[in-house]
Amino acid sequence: MSAPPSPTSTASDDTAATSVDVPLLTAAEEALSPAERATAALAQKDEGNGHFVQGKYAEAKECYSRAIALDPSNAVFWSNRAACELKLEQQGLAIADATEALTLNPSFVKAYYRRASAHLAILDPKAALPDLRAILKIEPNNATVRTQLEATTKLVRRLEFEKAIRVEEGVPPSGTVAEHLEQRTGGAEVRADYDGPRLPTDGVNGVPGKPWLGTISAKFIDDMIAYFKDGKRLPLGIAWQIILGALRAFQSEPALVRYTIPKGDSIHVVGDTHGQFYDFVHLMGLIGAPSETHAVLFNGDFVDRGSWSVEIALTIMAYKWLYPHTTLVNRGNHETSDMNKVYGFEGECKAKFGGEMTFKLFTELFIAIPLSTLISAPVAPLPSEQLPADASKSLAQTAPIVDPKTGCKHFFVVHGGLFSRDNVSLDEIAAINRFAQKQPGQEGLMMELLWSDPQPMPGRGPSKRGVGLGFGPDITRAWCEYNHVSTVLRSHEVRQNGYAEEHQGLCCTVFSAPNYCDSTGNLGAFARIDERGTLFWTTFEAQPHPNIRPMAYAGGPMSSMLS
Ligand SMILES: [Mn+2]
């Protein structure tokens, strides 16, 4: 890592990473003496600390950046900015800033801790180990960090062990579970004293000759949601039937699902909900449940972080089973087994169902979820002057790229974003064999679909997160023109207003977890697209929930490093 730039350096290599981004000094600041600059920097730091404790991380980061510009020799400013970046899920930047802090002060415990937390957050626990050890050298009696080092070491071993056995998989969990349901073994039998909803005997979407797999109805789902709201849990057998019902539906879908909005209808697109079940129920009340005619696309990251991931996952999967053609789901980077081990979903499955089987079944289910959806309008777009007052008016909507054959709009919906190379075609995306590849890994189209983020600078850049990449407005436009796509609609990043129109509206972000992690203070949002491809946004606020904190099931030592 290079030395921090001098206060007057321009740091203007704007296509490169903003890894050690230092803003320019104003003319007034330039005029200050070194001592005055140092004092002004401390004032910025204090202001930043004030924002930070109120959960205003972007504002806090801004202040620390100004402090760094005024006095780049103070390790605390870099380390505090790293703390903001951790909260903003910019782990790649946090690593860079913590490294700057450690260059200035090699015995700075907080900076080691923040860099370790960032490595853990991007599932590189191995890289966190040296920093945790460094802390213990400085503070041998730090019991918390000692416990965290032990837990992190265990996680590294577990991930390596599971990678090693992955090749010799035998019967898939879905096979084992189906057998348990048939034989009424393994906890599959629903106890007589169970007082919750039961799957109907006269429902739909059963499997001929296999009555033990059950059938489903809309009334069951309504009753299940009410039961969940009361804090109650479904028996194993019913949960398994729901997961298997959704799994069968996903298995028949390609990696790129194509959905044409029926004339007269519209589709809703929902972003990250991250286990915030009470917000999710409120959201479903606003958009209405899926039905034969009402399509809803859940754009990934419905599990992890929030402590009701099981409830959201089962609700979405029940809809998928009941309405397989109108309940659409894209996989997010959190519908992956490694993330679930760190961010709570695996622990939650164990706590709520006991044993390992249900999490393994969810892992198989997540692998089957499609990676993207192309939503097509059946009717040509309205001229811009006729767009309804409440419709999106970005350039991408007023002067849309349309399909040259039909004259209509296509929306490409994906959790993360675009790619590290040009001219990736829709056919290429559809041809990804997600069943063979299973997990997104560290490179390739699947990883990029699930992880990448838009960036304001043109071209491509390293990811602020340290995973995936950043793609600029020129990359988005070229890709949309190549594929005749009007809009890339993605999720994956919190936005203060719940949604954002970027890259002239060609790349939009929708995020549906309001007050993310009970701390970010953001609105949630959802999108609606009608038969002409007109795009509408709606925002909503967080709802009260029972007093269970985010990441409650993530496992003590590591959850404290990530929250
Ligand atoms: Mn995500």
| Entry pTM | 0.90
Whole-number pLDDT of residue 1: 34
Tell me whether residue 334 is one of the annotated catalytic residues: yes
Angle between helices 57-70 and 75-87 (to 10 degrees): 160
| Cα–Cα distance list, 490 to 205, 299, 317 (Å) | 31, 7, 21
- Label residue 8 by pLDDT band (50, 70, 90): very low
- Label residue 2 by pLDDT band (50, 70, 90): very low
* Same fold yes or no, 11-165 and 254-562: no
CA of 371 to the centre of ligand 1 (A): 13
CA of 334 to the centre of ligand 1 (A): 6
Range 339-345 average pLDDT: 93
Q: Which residue is associated with the tokens 């189906």? A: 178
pLDDT tens-digit map of 13-47: 333 344 578 888 888 898 899 999 999 999 999 99
CB 492 within 8 A of CB 273: no
CA of 88 to the centre of ligand 1 (A): 12
pLDDT tens-digit map of 313-333: 999 999 999 999 999 999 999
pLDDT tens-digit map of 483-509: 999 999 999 999 999 999 999 999 999
Which class is 254-562 in CATH? alpha beta
Starting at the earlier edge strand, list the strands of the sheet with 460-462.
453-454, 469-471, 460-462
Query: Which ranges of 12-108 does DSSP label H, i.e. alpha helix?
Result: 27-30, 34-53, 57-70, 75-87, 91-104
CB 289 within 8 A of CB 218: yes
Residues 6+ apart with CB under 8 A from 293: 262, 265, 326
397-400 long-range contacts, CB within 8 A, separation 24+: 397/486, 397/487, 397/505, 397/534, 397/535, 400/486, 400/487, 400/533
CA of 331 to the centre of ligand 1 (A): 9
443 is written with which tokens? 């490179």
Whole-number pLDDT of residue 5: 36
- The span from the CA of 174 to the CA of 185, in Å, is 14
CATH 1.25.40.10 fits domain 11-165: yes
Range 457-474 average pLDDT: 94
Q: Which residue is associated with the tokens 């407005």? A: 473
Smallest CA-to-CA distance from 268 within 245, 249, 243, 288 is with 288
CA of 189 to the centre of ligand 1 (A): 36
- Could you state, in order of their start, the residue ranges of all structural domains in the chain? 11-165, 173-246, 254-562
- The span from the CA of 175 to the CA of 13, in Å, is 54
Residues in the chain, overall count: 563
- Burial annotation 402-425 (CB, 10 A radius, 16+ → b, else e): bbeeeebbbbbbbbbbbbbeeebe
CA of 511 to the centre of ligand 1 (A): 10
DSSP per residue over 398-462, as a string?
HS----TTT---EEEEESS---SSS---HHHHHT--HHHH-S--SSSHHHHHHH-EE-SSSSEEE
CA of 97 to the centre of ligand 1 (A): 23
Catalytic one of 51, 180, 334, 410: 334
Range 273-278 average pLDDT: 98
In the three-class reduction of DSSP (H, G, I as helix; E, B as strand; rest coil), residue 477 is classed as helix
CA of 196 to the centre of ligand 1 (A): 33
Burial of 558 (0-12, 13-18, 19+ CB in 10 A): buried
pLDDT at 162 over 90: no
> What separation, in Å, do the N-terminal and C-terminal C-alpha atoms of the chain show?
27
